[in-house]
Amino acid sequence: MELTLEGISKKVGAQPWLYAMNLAPKRDAVTVLLGATQAGKTSLMRIMAGLDTPTQGSVKVDGKDVTGMPVRERNVAMVYQQFINYPSLRVADNIASPLKLRGEKNIDQRVRALASRLHIETLLDRYPAELSGGQQQRVALARALAKGAPLMLLDEPLVNLDYKLREELREELTQLFAAGDSTVIYATTEPGEALLLGGYTAVMDAGELLQYGPTAEVFHAPQSLRVARAFSDPPMNLLGAAAVTLGVQLNSGPALAISLPPETAKNLTANLTVGVRASALRLQARDGDVALPGVVELAEISGSDTFVHLTTGVGEVVAQLTGVHYFGLGAPLTLHLSPAQVYVFDAQGALLVAPKRPGGP
């Protein structure tokens, strides 16, 4: 299904929730709506589903304007952040309900097939209240999939689940979507989830659509500082800098040899921002690396990674180091950074330089 949003905006009272935006999610692929809470992901999704009407603009499906069409007449499926099932129906009836309403055949068989795909085949005779959160969300997913709608909307479906279950379901979802006969819109606050699902990503912030493109492209070449900030976990380190001959000079720090666009290089523009991903900082130096000496403020161990918060001459820096490391508070530590791995943004926050990615353009 070809979904097109043209000049969509939404105001509630006098307050704008969504600023005018155009978005045409890639047909029959996964599009991730990435943004913090309050970014407008749910509002946008409700407009796509037809649960809300936009204040301005139009929603088109396969070229046909469906802006005012009630949700009942559209062919969409939706999964909410909360586990929404019909509490008075058994799991089997829950999954079967969209099929029954359309008077389809082989309902029993199809329900069973879906249930076994989502590993809930043993729970079909139970009521939703008798299931755990993860199981309830599987039922909701199964019901949404049962419909076989060409547009499937998932609003942070995994956010209320515990870590392990989230990992597990996320992988299964990736496989389910890989079948690829419907356009999937998936809202999430986690950059990692967007990367895992692949496909396309639309980055949103404070009611604005900032960038839309293939996920890897958006990740590696964020158009602006705001996109880079939204699409980075842990947050990207942002350091003040100024253009100098043959590169940039970090404010009260070392110089990095980077080839800047000719315009910036010629004018020796000040007020630049250098962005460094936490994972780009290393303990071991390589050829051409710049050293950032500092003092450890905090070291958190998360999974098999260590997040080190450091006070350096150029400001606070967070580094994501592979492996479990123990650092004493106040211990001196020098991190290394390759100038080839930094982003440079101009004073307006637009991207000037992005690191080359292996195999990429």
On whether the CB atoms of residues 202 and 32 are closer than 8 A, the answer is yes
- The residue within the footprint of another protein, chosen from 10, 138, 143, 166 (CB under 8 A), is 143
Give the chain as a 3 state SS string. Answer: CCEEEEEEEEEECCEEEEEEEEECCCCCCEEEEECCCCCCHHHHHHHHHCCCCCCEEEEEECCEECCCCCHHHCCEEEECCCCCCCCCCCHHHHHHHHHHHCCCCCHHHHHHHHHHHCCCHHHCCCCHHHCCHHHHHHHHHHHHHHCCCCEEEEECCCCCCCHHHHHHHHHHHHHHHHCCCCEEEEEECCHHHHHHHCCEEEEEECCEEEEEEEHHHHHHCCCEHHHHHHCCCCCCEEEEEEEECCEEEECCCCEECCCCCHHHHHHCCCCEEEEECHHHCECCCCCCCEEEEEEEEEEEEECCEEEEEEEECCEEEEEEEECCCCCCCCCEEEEEECHHHCEEECCCCEEEECCCCCCCC
| Beta carbon nearer to another protein, 48 or 239 | 48
Q: Which is nearer to another protein, 45 or 204 (CB)?
A: 45
Scanning 96-104, 107-115, 130-138, 186-194 for contacts with another protein by CB under 8 A, the matching segment is 96-104
Span of 65-73, 113-121, 240-248, 280-288 interacting with another protein by CB under 8 A: 65-73
Assess 350 for contact with another protein (CB under 8 A). Answer: no
* Bridge partners (DSSP) listed for residue 70: none
The residue within the footprint of another protein, chosen from 28, 60, 80, 254 (CB under 8 A), is 80
Nearest residue to 228 (alpha-carbon basis) of 208, 248, 203: 203
CA distances 124 to 53, 91, 118, Å, are 36, 5, 12
- CA angle centred on 80, ends 153 and 128, rounded to 5°: 125
98 near another protein (CB under 8 A): yes
Does residue 87 touch another protein according to CB under 8 A?
yes
Our finding on whether 66 is near another protein (CB under 8 A) is no
Shortest separation between residue 12's beta carbon and another protein, angstroms = 11
Site residues (CB under 8 A) for another protein, limited to 12-51: 49, 51
Total residues at interface with another protein (CB under 8 A): 21
Of 12, 36, 71, 331, the residue at the interface with another protein (CB under 8 A) is 71
Select from 47, 77, 139, 342 the one that contacts another protein (CB under 8 A).
77
Residue with smaller CB distance to another protein, 83 or 219: 83
Q: Which residue, 95 or 218, has its beta carbon nearer to another protein?
A: 95
Q: Is position 78 an interface residue for another protein (rule: CB under 8 A)? A: yes
In the bound state with another protein, the residue whose beta carbon lies nearer, of 72 and 105, is 72
What's the min distance (Å) between Cβ of 227 and another protein?
A: 30
68 near another protein, rule: CB under 8 A: no
Residue 305 Cβ, how far from another protein at the closest point, in Å?
36
Q: Which of 97, 251, 279, 320 binds another protein (CB under 8 A)?
A: 97
Cβ-based nearer residue to another protein, 75 or 251: 75
Asked if residue 82 binds another protein (CB under 8 A), the reply is: yes
**Residue 248 contacts residue 260 (beta carbons within 8 Å):** yes
Please identify, using beta-carbon distances, which residue of 130 and 167 lies nearer to another protein: 130
The residue from 14, 72, 262, 348 that contacts another protein (CB under 8 A) is 72
Using the rule CB under 8 A, is 86 a contact of another protein?
Answer: yes
Q: Which of 37, 38, 65, 70 binds another protein (CB under 8 A)?
A: 70
Do residues 260 and 344 make contact, with C-beta atoms less than 8 angstroms apart? Answer: yes
Judged by the rule CB under 8 A, the positions of this chain that interact with another protein are 49, 51, 70-72, 76-78, 80, 82, 84, 86-89, 97-98, 101-102, 143, 147
